[in-house]
Structure 1
Amino acid sequence: MREQLERKAFLILLAGVSLAFFLILKPFWSAIFWACAIAIIFTPMQGFLKKRLGDHPNSIALLTLLICVAIVVIPVIFLSVMFVQEGIQFYQRLDTGEIDPQLILQQLREAFPLLDSLLAEFGVNTENIREHITQLAKNASRWLARETLTIGQNTFSFLVSLALMLYLAFFLLRDGSKLQQLMIRALPLGDEREHALFKKFVEVTRATVKGNLVVAVVQGALGGIIFWALDIPGPFLWGVVMAFLSLIPAVGAALIWLPVSLYLFATGDWVSASILVAYGAVVIGLADNVLRPVLVGRDTKLPDYVVLFSTIGGLALFGINGFVIGPLLAALFLACWQIFMTDFNQDHKA
């Protein structure tokens, strides 16, 4: 009786201490998450370097981390700076009236007169829509400018998070296998189940990060190139926005190039509009329809519709990290139920 009481008391203490520890780590959650993702993604490269250079854990982990910084971290920082610069220029053009959202909407209404009547059929006030869209454009541009002005104030916080992420990634690269074995010993789920779940965690994380980022880079680059070729203002800005939106499967980049093509039609530039529609549907769309199933769906072993809904839900709940967390939770959900059904059926047959 006393032994059971002590066991329950210890489990309560363990749960309380663990919860308190997780709360302490909460401010650094994103840094920890991406450190884990870096370790998982670059583990194959670490293995390759180990075969070539010998088993020197500290040196191999450091060299792997330096390669990660060179091919991922530095380019991301560079692109972010360029994106902010173009965002400021876009805001200035809105503020000076060089870009007039009301004029753009008026041109669209004149070019597509059926739009007003169609919206009226559903009881939608087009004047309110125009005011809302105009205000939304101004608010978004002002927000971007305001955030840009505070970058200097947030630089220290960003550098701290970046340093913590790289610091933790080094130790995860060096001691990742030991930590995994330690967790397998600690968790009371059964070694076979734990190995299966860890394997699924690694597969999905690696596939979603690499696959979605490759698709995002390709679609963003393709979108930026066609905007530059058609002399559309802010090609780099819109390319980065398309890259970000492409994290949403099926419809992401089209949320940018389709409205722009409609505007080109409205202003009478039929040639550019037709080129953009064809290019967006065939070239940019092909990158999503071909690359994403190969890079994400195949490795995660998730149906396309599960990837779509879990990605959108993950982005809604967890922000930018959700494009990884959403499919990861979906894969773990299916894996857990698969393990449950297998074990239950075996027990039932026995």
Structure 2
Amino acid sequence: MYAKLETRTFLAMLLGVSLAFVLLMKPFFGPIFWAVAMAVIFHPVERLLERRLGDRPNLNALITLAIGIVIVVIPVLGLGAALIAEGMGVYQQIQEGEIRPGEYIDQINESFPAIQAFLAQFDVNFGELRDRAVSAFLGGSQFLAKQALGIGQNTFQFFLALALMVYLTFFLIRDGQKLIELLIRALPLGDERERLLFAKFAEVTRATVKGNLLIAVIQGALGGLIFWVLGITGALLWGVVMAVVSLLPAVGAAIVWVPVALYLAAIGEAIPALVLTGYGVVVIGLADNLLRPIFVGRDTKMPDYLVLLSTLGGIVVFGINGFVMGPLVAALFMAFWGIFIREFGHEAHLAAQTDVSAREDASTRES
């Protein structure tokens, strides 16, 4: 009796200390999460270096980290800096009256009155829709301006988080396999199940980060290129914006290039409008439709609609980190239920068959 009390007390204190530790680490959630993601993505590189250079964990981890910084960290920082700088420029132009998004929407409405008539069939007020679009545009540019100001005021905090992420990534690359084995020994889920879940975690993280970021860069580059060729103002900004919104499956860059194509048609630029429309549908659209199932859906073994819903839900719940965490939660959900159905569902089926056989034998004896 006393031994049971000791065990329960210990488990309660273990749970309490674990929760306290999680709360302690909560301010560093972003750096920790991305350090884990970086370590998972570049783990194959570390294994390759281990085969080539031998068992030199510090050197292998350092080289792997340097490769990760060059491939991922520096381009992402450059992309973010370009987005904020261009957004600041657009915000200033809006404030000075050089850019008037409301007038652009009114121009589209005047040139294509059928749009307003079509929306009226669904009881959608074009005026309200216009005001919301203008507010969203102004809010987006203001948000970028605030982010630029915030980063300028919190430069030390930003680079501290970045340095913490890089620091943790080094140790996770070097000691990641040992940590996984330690967790497998500690967690009371069964070693086989835990290995399956860790493998699914690595698979989904690698697929979503690698796939989504690669697709975003490709679509942003393609969109920015056609805007530059057509002489559209702010091609770099719109390319970066298309890269960001490309993180949303099935919607993505069309949020940007479709309104621009409509505006070009509204002001009489028929050929650029047709070129942009054809390019957007064929080149940008196919880049998303062909590459996303290959890089994301295939590796995660999740249907496209689940990838879309989990990505959108993840962004709503977790913010920008949600484009990875959403599909990750969905994949783990499917993995847990797969284990349950395979193990407990099979046992329940055997028990039901045994029960039916017993009833049939009892009925036979009675007759």
Q: TM bucket by the smaller chain?
A: over 0.9
- Aligned-residue sequence identity (percent) comes to 57
Partners of 2:137 and 2:205 lie apart in 1 by 35
Offset of residue 168 of structure 1: 0.7
Partners of 1:198 and 1:99 lie apart in 2 by 50
Question: Equivalent residue for 1:17?
Answer: 17
Alignment of 1:147-296 (within 5 A): 147-296=147-296
Question: Equivalent residue for 2:32?
Answer: 32
Segment drifting more, 254-263 vs 98-107: 98-107
Question: Equivalent residue for 1:101?
Answer: 101
What secondary structure, in the 3-state scheme, does the structure 1 residue paired with 2:188 have?
A: coil
Partners of 1:130 and 1:212 lie apart in 2 by 31
Question: Equivalent residue for 2:343?
Answer: 343
Question: Equivalent residue for 1:323?
Answer: 323
Q: For residue 336 of structure 1, what is the amino acid of its counterpart?
A: F
Q: For residue 180 of structure 2, what is the amino acid of its counterpart?
A: Q
Q: For residue 313 of structure 1, what is the amino acid of its counterpart?
A: G
1:285–1:118 distance in 2 versus 1, CA, 3 Å: closer
What secondary structure, in the 3-state scheme, does the structure 1 residue paired with 2:268 have?
A: coil
Offset of residue 66 of structure 1: 1.1
**Number of residue pairs aligned between Structure 1 and Structure 2:** 350
Question: Equivalent residue for 1:133?
Answer: 133
1:127–1:62 distance in 2 versus 1, CA, 3 Å: same
What secondary structure, in the 3-state scheme, does the structure 1 residue paired with 2:154 have?
A: helix
Offset of residue 109 of structure 1: 1.2
Offset of residue 11 of structure 1: 1.2
- Structure 2's unaligned 5+ residue stretches are 352-367
Conserved 8 A contact 2:84-2:147: no
Partners of 2:150 and 2:346 lie apart in 1 by 60
- Structure 1's unaligned 5+ residue stretches are none
Please list the CA deviations of residues 34-84 of structure 1 after superposition, one character each: whole Å capped at 9, or x if unmatched.
000000011111111112222111111111111111221112212222222
Segment drifting more, 267-276 vs 149-158: 149-158
Segment drifting more, 320-329 vs 133-142: 133-142
Q: For residue 272 of structure 2, what is the amino acid of its counterpart?
A: S
TM-score (norm 1): 0.96
What secondary structure, in the 3-state scheme, does the structure 2 residue paired with 1:150 have?
A: helix
Segment drifting more, 270-279 vs 71-80: 71-80
Question: Equivalent residue for 1:310?
Answer: 310
Highest Rg: 1 or 2? 2
Partners of 2:336 and 2:129 lie apart in 1 by 46
Q: For residue 16 of structure 1, what is the amino acid of its counterpart?
A: G
Conserved 8 A contact 2:82-2:240: no
Partners of 1:244 and 1:69 lie apart in 2 by 20
Conserved 8 A contact 2:151-2:158: no
Please list the CA deviations of residues 6-33 of structure 1 after superposition, one character each: whole Å capped at 9, or x if unmatched.
2111111111110000000000001000
Partners of 1:176 and 1:347 lie apart in 2 by 35
RMSD across aligned positions (CA): 1.5
Q: For residue 164 of structure 2, what is the amino acid of its counterpart?
A: L
1:57–1:276 distance in 2 versus 1, CA, 3 Å: same
Partners of 2:170 and 2:143 lie apart in 1 by 36
Offset of residue 148 of structure 1: 1.6
Segment drifting more, 1-10 vs 14-23: 1-10
Q: For residue 306 of structure 1, what is the amino acid of its counterpart?
A: L
Q: For residue 50 of structure 1, what is the amino acid of its counterpart?
A: E
Question: Equivalent residue for 2:84?
Answer: 84
1:134–1:328 distance in 2 versus 1, CA, 3 Å: closer
Segment drifting more, 71-80 vs 10-19: 71-80
Question: Equivalent residue for 2:299?
Answer: 299
TM-score (norm 2): 0.92
Partners of 1:211 and 1:128 lie apart in 2 by 37
Q: For residue 81 of structure 2, what is the amino acid of its counterpart?
A: V
Offset of residue 343 of structure 1: 1.0
Offset of residue 130 of structure 1: 3.4
What secondary structure, in the 3-state scheme, does the structure 2 residue paired with 1:83 have?
A: helix
Partners of 1:263 and 1:23 lie apart in 2 by 50
Partners of 2:131 and 2:203 lie apart in 1 by 47
1:317–1:58 distance in 2 versus 1, CA, 3 Å: same
Please list the CA deviations of residues 264-322 of structure 1 after superposition, one character each: whole Å capped at 9, or x if unmatched.
11111111111111111110011111111111111111111111111111111111111
Q: For residue 8 of structure 2, what is the amino acid of its counterpart?
A: K
Partners of 1:282 and 1:303 lie apart in 2 by 23
